[in-house]
Amino acid sequence: MSRNSAPLSERGSNRKAYFLLTITTLCWGCNAIFSRLAVGEVSPMTLVTLRWITVMILVYFIARQHVKRDWHILKPRLPFIMAIGAIGFTGFNSLFYVAAYTTTAVNIGIIQGSIPVFVLLAAFLLYRTTVGFSQIIGVILTMIGVIMVGSGGSLERLTGLQFNFGDLLMLLACLLYAAYTLGLRNKPNVAALSLFAVLAFSAFLTSVPMVVGEIALGQFQAPTLTGWILIGCIAIFPSFLAQICFINGVAMIGPGRAGIFVNLVPIFASIFAVIFLNEPFELYHGIALALVLGGIWLAERNKNS
């Protein structure tokens, strides 16, 4: 009986993790649309700071009791938690929003798909995590799907790509988020809301110097009414809901397996662009979606995390 109950329990945990990680990438796909709509409505560093202020307000009402209960565990680990919060929340988002002004969506789509590769490689180097053949093939397939979306299904556009400063910023952003993902492997054993509260505080605190610099450089733009609405949407979905789901998902199946789901982000972003921005849905979108989903399935055949 015990032999049968363990696999059933594991499958149930895996399904929950897949659901949480899909919600995560769904929200991050929305973020791509929100970010595009925010251009001209609020300056990028101001957007980063205000989103985390909004998240902190939510956290105060929802998570303060969790933080109080877990504080004795959180306190000794504050430097580590604050560091990964700065890396994964402030660093990634700041570079992402700035890069969007100086590179193309094609480049961003391709480069963002490198996050799972960085996660798997770093997990192997740091933790000697086993990378199976099916996982390697799964990553390759999902990368092909991501590249297909990013290039618009055009070989000419793909081969004509050139890296500029924005591309390098986006590559650095992906490295930062991969580091954050691996950092979650060593998170303290506390409630997800408790951990997220500290991460959100770190993100706000470390974003303040950036918005000060934006003001000093004369790049500050106060939010318009549309900008405030977008800040609220970004705070609730990609900043709050997605991060809670991601933290729990990584805890259930590990950073290596969770990282592969990041490749769903450009797929969801493309679908939302069709629905909300009236962009056409081409054949290559369907092919890319099949590649990404098939790649995740193959990667998930390897249960090492």
Query: Within the chain, which residues score under 50 in pLDDT?
Result: 1-3, 6, 305
- Taking each helix axis as running N to C, give the angle between helix 192-216 and helix 242-253, from 0 to 180 degrees, rounded to the nearest 10: 130
* CA–CA separation, 202 and 65 (whole Å): 19
What is the DSSP-derived secondary structure letter of residue 239?
I
Give 69-95 pLDDT, tens digit per residue.
999 999 999 999 999 999 999 999 899
pLDDT in tens, 232-254: 999 999 999 998 898 888 888 88
**Which of 173, 194, 203 has its CA nearest to residue 244?**
194
Match 């659901």 to its residue by tokens.
19
Say what the pTM is.
0.79
pLDDT at 142: 76
